[in-house]
Amino acid sequence: MTAELRIAVLAAGAGRRFGGVKLLAPLAGRPLLAWALDAARAQRNARVALVVGCRAKEVTAAVDLAGVEVVPNPHWREGIASSIRCAVASLSPGEVGLLFLGGDQPLVGAAGLAALIARWAARPDRPAAARYCGVLGLPALFPRAQLPALQGLAGDRGARRLLAGATPCDLPLAALDVDTPEDLERAERFLRSL
């Protein structure tokens, strides 16, 4: 694939269930968010955006932003839909698709994102999404034709309803998104087992 994609790492939420700034919590000695950013930066022919909101200055100061465009979300309290709209608005004219990755999905990794992009490239007219625990979810890649539908999202609901008919990509490690300290400990145990 030679056309450019945009990878939007979603990192605007308050992390209420975690009880603090979860994206800065240490995982194997690095901020949780660094894992998602590294996976995104490793993709060829892709530009990376980091959508920030709650405690944006603290979050951006804690991670390496080389090769990353910071996209502020002033409406982050609304929920994930506001971050999706900000990512859509940041797209450049030449970018053919938009991939969303949660900043709290540390185990997807560069290989997982590459697999998702490859699945999408085989059918670029429709979305592709990670499949885990019997559902489709993030990370998910949407073709440019779906931007109007993404811009129409509102509230604290993501784009799951737009994934009907999506090309699935089995990414079982995407199931672990860190919402609680217990989730972080599970990710830590997994990394220690490698």
Domains and CATH numbers, the chain: 4-193 (3.90.550.10)
What is the average per-residue pLDDT within 172-189? Answer: 95
Radius of gyration of the chain (CA): 15
pLDDT higher than threshold 60 for residue 193: yes
Total length of the chain: 194
Gap between the Cα atoms of 174 and 135, Å rounded: 11
pLDDT at residue 16 in the model? 86
What is the average per-residue pLDDT within 162-184? Answer: 95
Mean pLDDT of the chain: 94
Gap between the Cα atoms of 30 and 58, Å rounded: 15
The fraction of the chain above a pLDDT of 90, given in percent, is 87
Q: Residue 143 has which token pair?
A: 């073709």
pLDDT at residue 1 in the model? 45
Q: How many C-beta atoms surround the C-beta of residue 165 within 10 A? A: 9
Using CA atoms, how far residue 77 sits from 23, 82, 100, 121, in Å, is 16, 8, 19, 34
Closest CA to 51 of 43, 172, 40, 42: 40
